[in-house]
Every structure is written in structure tokens, then in C-alpha cells.
Amino acid sequence: MINHRIRILSSLLIAFIIVNVYSNFSGIKDILANIKLPTFNLISKPDCTGQACLSPTTKDNRNNSFDLPAVDQITPSDVFPTTISPTKIIDLEDPTPTSTGFARKTPTPTTKKTPTKTPTKAPTSIPRPTKKPKPTRVPTLPPITSDVRPGSSLTEIFSEVGRRACFPTALLRAIQEKETGAWWGINTASSKVKIYNTYGWWINGTGDPCTGFGYHTQTGIIPQDSVNAGGRCRNAVGASGDIGVMGLLQVSEEEQTATRKYTVSILSKNIDRRVLFDNILIFAIATKNRVGNTPSDCNNWPDDVVYEAAEKHIGVGSCSAQNYCNEVVRLYKLYR
């Protein structure tokens, strides 16, 4: 019974509370309905007082004012438009200018380039070591046919014979100094050289057989085919026999005859060991034949070859006399 009453009272109490809340809510609603929200002019207007201010409805262009509507003519929609057109967003990460702003671009990843290898050209053939060049052969000089031989000095005669016979000129001078240097110096006058360097001087008498060594050295006697034949120039050297040694480098008759097959290509007309050029040429050819395998360098012979050449000329076993061979080597080195 009591519970039933409590329920009735609770229901009445709840109904009372609901009615009062509703009536209060309706009053709040009416109050809120009567409230008028103010409008705002977003464009600021200068403060003014007195006559300087115009009414809101008056338009005036003085003082650089603009033709703007009055405040009460602005609706909320003018201040807060319902739709705002979004402007294009500037992409700060991709500053690529376009006609209306900056457009976003998705960066394209760069492709890593593979370096290009320079192609190596394969050799067409395997290089081979070059062969040692052979010395250029000296062209054959034309033979001498004139009775007047080349050279107006002993130096010129040595040089001409040396290049024709491929023989060191220093060795020719060294031998000549040992044999006849006391009477025929290297600086003998060209006028004297010309007389005794011409074929036939001992026949026509232009020269003296004793001065030009036109006599047999071993006996000192002038031969029968010469002017003053049978005369004696100097005392005999005392050697046994007579092999007809004559001339500037003391060449024998046998050497003149044996070398003729080689000298004929140079002196094609005639030859005699009493002529300066002829005597030196016969000596050079005969010495090369006696030495045998001579060096290919015409102007540079080793000391031992020079010594052998001197020994073969004076005679084996005769080098000790006056230290002949060693002196020839010394002079060769001096004049080379």
C-alpha cells in the first residue's frame, strides 16, 4: 500500500519537474528569439565628429572615400558568404611557376646513369722488335783517270783515301809520321804536294827522286825508269835484299802488284807508289788485307787492331825496334 503511494507521489513529482523545465525552456527560447545579432562592416571607416561625418545612407566621394553601401544595407551574407571558393594552394616544396600560381609537381626520380666505357681497340697485329738498321752503303765514287790526283795537302789526301778505301785517316797519318815525317810534315806546302801528287813526276823531271822518295829505300839507289837513274840518294838502311820499297809510307813493289786488282776500281788508268795518293792507297788496301777482319767503322779501330796493322807493316818481330807499334797507337789516338 505504501509502495503504491510512493509510486504515485514519485510520478507527480516527476511530472511537476518536467512542466517547470519546459515552461522555463520556452521562456529562454522567446528571449533568444528577441535578441538581434549586430552586423559588422569589415571595411574600417575613419572616426569622425560633427559635420565631417555623413549619415550612413549618404554617399560621398570626398577625402578619397569610396562608393560603399551603408552599414545597415550590408547583409550577413555579404560579410560571411555561404560559399568560399578555395584558392590554389602554393606548394612551397615545388616552386615551379605557372600562369596562375605554383603548381605541385611530383618529383620524378632520376635514373642513375651507368658510365660508358671507352672501347679498347685491339691491335691488328702484335708489334715485333724492329731490326737493327744496316749502315747505308757509301755510294761508289767514280774512278780517278787524271794524272793529277785528288788533294792539295797531305790532310786532304789522307781524307780522300780514307773514304774511298774505308780506312782510318788517323792511322794513315800516324804511319806516315813514323816513316817519313822528318822530311814530309803534315803542313807541307801545297805547291810541293802538287808536284809529287801527279803521275810521272819522276819521268819528266819536275820532281827530285831523293825528295819524293823515288828511290829504293834498302839500297838508296834511284831506279832505271827515273831521271837520275842509278844515282844514290841516301845510305842504305842495311837490310838484306831489295824489294823495291819507295814512297811516302814505304810501300814495296810486291804490295803494289798484289793490290792492283783492288785499286783498279779507283785508279783505272795507271798507278805508281811514287805518287803520294797512289802510295797511301796501296798501303791502306794492303794493310786491310793483312789484318783480315777489320772493323766496319771506317774511322774508329780498336787499339789492338791498330797495333796489329803497324806490326804487319813493319814486319812481325820488329815492333820492339824504336818502340814502333806502340808509338803508332799513341799517334793514332792523338790524331783520331
* pLDDT confidence bin for 194, thresholds 50/70/90: very high
Compare 25 and 310 and report the one with higher pLDDT: 310
Residue 6: per-residue pLDDT: 80
Q: Which residues have CB under 8 Å from 180's CB, separation 6+?
A: 213, 248, 249, 250
Share of the chain above pLDDT 90, in %: 53
Average pLDDT of 11-15?
Answer: 81
Chain centroid to CA 66: 87
Residue 252: per-residue pLDDT: 97
Compare 196 and 38 and report the one with higher pLDDT: 196
Average pLDDT of 108-118?
Answer: 59
Average pLDDT of 122-126?
Answer: 54
Residue 71: per-residue pLDDT: 45
Compare 136 and 228 and report the one with higher pLDDT: 228
pTM of the model: 0.60
Distance CA 166, CA 4 (A): 163
Distance CA 266, CA 145 (A): 9
Q: Which of 13-17, 275-279, 287-291 has the lowest mean pLDDT?
A: 13-17
140 pLDDT higher than 60: yes
Query: Which amino acid does the sequence have at 59?
Result: K
Crossing angle of helices 169-180 and 276-291, rounded to 10°? 110
278 pLDDT higher than 80: yes
Compare 131 and 169 and report the one with higher pLDDT: 169
Distance CA 196, CA 53 (A): 148
Query: If you write DSSP's letter for every residue of 41-99 in order, what string do you get?
Result: -SS------GGGPPPTT----GGG------GGG--HHHHS-S--PPPPPP-TT---B-S
Give the pLDDT confidence of 211-255 residue by residue, as tens digits. Answer: 999 999 999 999 999 999 999 998 777 667 899 999 999 999 999
* pLDDT confidence bin for 114, thresholds 50/70/90: low
Average pLDDT of 162-173?
Answer: 98
Distance CA 214, CA 223 (A): 8
Query: If you write DSSP's letter for every residue of 182-198 in order, what string do you get?
Result: TTS-TT--HHHHHHHTB
Q: Which of 6-20, 23-37, 269-283 has the lowest mean pLDDT?
A: 23-37
User: Which pairs from 296-305 meet CB under 8 Å and 24+ separation?
Assistant: 296/135, 298/162, 298/163, 298/166, 298/167, 298/168, 299/162, 299/168, 299/169, 299/170, 299/336, 300/168, 300/336, 301/168, 301/171, 301/332, 303/329, 303/332, 303/333
